[in-house]
């Protein structure tokens, strides 16, 4: 969903990240064979974010799931795992993240040896999910989680900051800004 990806991109830019949506990862034929996806098209990352000051890259998978059950995480894993391939398949994740680093360096988009980190942005973590469990798993794995709580907190800040000509900024100001007026 482009709108959700654009919202997360805006929120990350406010934290000093440069962002690109729909980033195409150019896996080689050997890499595709290695991850058992020999005939797969280019892998796509929903949102790629780069912070030059620290040479960090975030590969963000965006799952808004706003009008659905939401992201399900229980028993220490995603349900269904096939919907969360990079989080569930170690060989695929390591190959894709390594290729992202190589591709960015080769293109001159960042300096040598960027730290590439997997992240998940979700607008709806299912009620039946183990919220402490997903946070613990992400911390253990070195991943980043931008959940509904984080998004709401960021939007509250957007609502009180200076005007920006962004749809998300305008909506946040309309819905969340406190004017201090009594009715």
pLDDT in tens, 113-168: 999 999 999 999 999 999 999 999 999 999 999 999 999 999 999 998 888 888 88
Give the pLDDT score at 183.
38
Identify the burial level of 149 via C-beta atoms within 10 angstroms of its C-beta, where 0-12 means exposed, 13-18 middle and 19 or more buried: exposed
Report yes or no: 149 and 156 within 8 Å, Cβ to Cβ: no
pLDDT category at 34 given cuts 50, 70, 90 is very high
Residue 178 has pLDDT above 70, yes or no: no
pLDDT of residue 71: 96
Arithmetic mean of pLDDT, 62-69: 93
Could you give the CA distance from residue 26 to residue 47 in angstroms, rounded to a whole number?
A: 15
**Pick from 76, 114, 89, 93: nearest CA to 25:** 93
Work out whether the CA dihedral 40, 43, 144, 34 comes out positive or negative.
positive
**Over the stretch 80-91, which tens digit does the pLDDT of each residue have?**
999 999 999 999
**pLDDT surpasses 50 at 182:** no
- Please report the domains of the chain, with CATH numbers, ordered by start residue: 2-150 (3.40.1350.10)
Tell me what pLDDT residue 40 has: 79
Average pLDDT, the chain: 92
Which has the minimum average pLDDT: 34-43, 48-57, 153-162, 172-181?
A: 172-181
């Amino acid at each position: 969903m482009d709108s959700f990806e654009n919202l997360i991109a805006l929120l990350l830019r406010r934290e000093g990240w440069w962002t690109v949506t729909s980033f195409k990862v150019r896996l080689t034929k050997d890499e595709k064979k290695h991850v058992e996806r020999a005939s797969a098209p280019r892998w796509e990352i929903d949102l790629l974010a780069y912070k030059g000051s620290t040479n960090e890259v975030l590969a963000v998978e965006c799952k808004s799931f706003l009008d659905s059950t939401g992201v399900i995480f229980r028993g220490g894993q995603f349900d269904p795992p096939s919907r969360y391939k990079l989080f569930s398949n170690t060989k695929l994740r390591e190959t894709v993240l390594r290729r992202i680093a190589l591709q960015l360096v080769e293109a001159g988009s960042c300096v040598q040896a960027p730290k590439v980190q997997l992240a998940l942005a979700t607008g709806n973590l299912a009620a039946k999910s183990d919220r402490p469990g997903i946070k613990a798993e992400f911390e253990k794995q070195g991943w980043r989680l931008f959940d509904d709580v984080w998004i709401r907190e960021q939007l509250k800040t957007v609502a009180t900051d200076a005007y920006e000509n962004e749809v998300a900024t305008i909506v946040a100001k309309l819905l969340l800004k406190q004017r201090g007026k009594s009715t």
